[in-house]
Structure 1
Amino acid sequence: MYSLVTFDDVERRDLEGEAPTLRSVGHALQSEEMRLAVWEYEAGEENAFHRQDRQEEFYVVLDGRFDVTIERGDDRDVLELRRNDFLVVPPESWRQFEAREPSTLLAVGAPNVPDDAILES
């Protein structure tokens, strides 16, 4: 049928070793095909430099500004993303988001694969 939640009703979680705060929207919605998460960053916070094994990821800046580093092979780009910007990153590209101010990011990964992130060693 469908699932509906209100943002404020999704529990905030602090993950060990991860700076931004997570709201696991996909878990709350019981999404089967996508992994949905909202990450809340303080100014200067960054996530781990990582890539995905299988998931393509779609990002939407809900609020604030980010510097995003994306690497694939010898190519490296640093992008500035602002509110209402959209970004898609393929699984094999390394990425890291750093908040330039308090910021909120929606991340949607597909397919819905648990523990798909590969961290830089």
Structure 2
Amino acid sequence: MEYNVADTEDVPITDLSEIEEIPPDLDIRALDEALGLQNVSLKLWYFEEGEEIQFHAHSEQEEVYYIMEGEFSLKLGRSDEEEFVEAGPGTAWVAEPMIGHGHRCISEGGGTVLAIGAPSVEDPGLDPHSLDDEEIDDALDDQA
């Protein structure tokens, strides 16, 4: 594939509540699948007020998020050093591998977040509270 184009409205919405193994119970559009991506994960996440992606980390994947619509409360950082940030449309943030991150929609009308992750690997969420600073530093050094 040299290139591909997809209109997001043509990409089907997946209701994750129907897939028992995959929390959270949100709706997504798998843009990566529609575009045939192999090295990058690319998803649109749709939130109602109060819905969230809980605080987690990944062992390999770096993730970038961009708020398209709505207001969110972000939780970011290492265990016991987390910061909370209020963010709205146009805000982007990144979480390196092994660094905790999560976000909750706080706007009445819901919200939409674009999530980009690389490498595109099966990298289930880790509990950031179970990681120690030496493990995190070693993983980040390996990425450099």
Same fold (TM over 0.5): yes
User: Which residue, out of 103, 106, 110, partners 2:111?
Assistant: 103
Structure 2's unaligned 5+ residue stretches are 18-22, 131-144
Structure 1's unaligned 5+ residue stretches are none
Q: Give the corresponding residue for 2:125.
A: 118
CA drift of 1:63 comes to 0.7
Structure 1's consecutive aligned runs of 4 or more residues displaced over 6 angstroms after TM superposition are none
Q: Give the corresponding residue for 2:59.
A: 53
Structure 2 Cα separation of the partners of residues 69 and 54 of structure 1: 19
Greater helix share, 1 or 2? 2
Greater strand share, 1 or 2? 1
What value does the CA root-mean-square deviation take over the aligned residues? Answer: 1.5
**8 Å CA contact 2:39, 2:120 repeated in 1:** yes
Q: Give the corresponding residue for 1:31.
A: 37
1:91 aligns with 2:97: yes
Q: Give the corresponding residue for 1:7.
A: 8
TM-score, normalised relative to structure 2: 0.77
CA drift of 1:71 comes to 3.0
Structure 2 Cα separation of the partners of residues 56 and 23 of structure 1: 20
**8 Å CA contact 1:19, 1:41 repeated in 2:** no
Q: Secondary structure at the residue paired with 2:125? A: strand
Structure 2 Cα separation of the partners of residues 80 and 20 of structure 1: 21
CA drift of 1:48 comes to 2.9
Q: Which has the higher contact order (CA 8 A, sep 6+)?
A: 1
**8 Å CA contact 2:79, 2:100 repeated in 1:** no
**8 Å CA contact 1:19, 1:47 repeated in 2:** no
TM-score, normalised relative to structure 1: 0.91
CA drift of 1:70 comes to 1.3
The one-letter amino acid paired with 1:28 is: A
Number of residue pairs matched?
Answer: 120
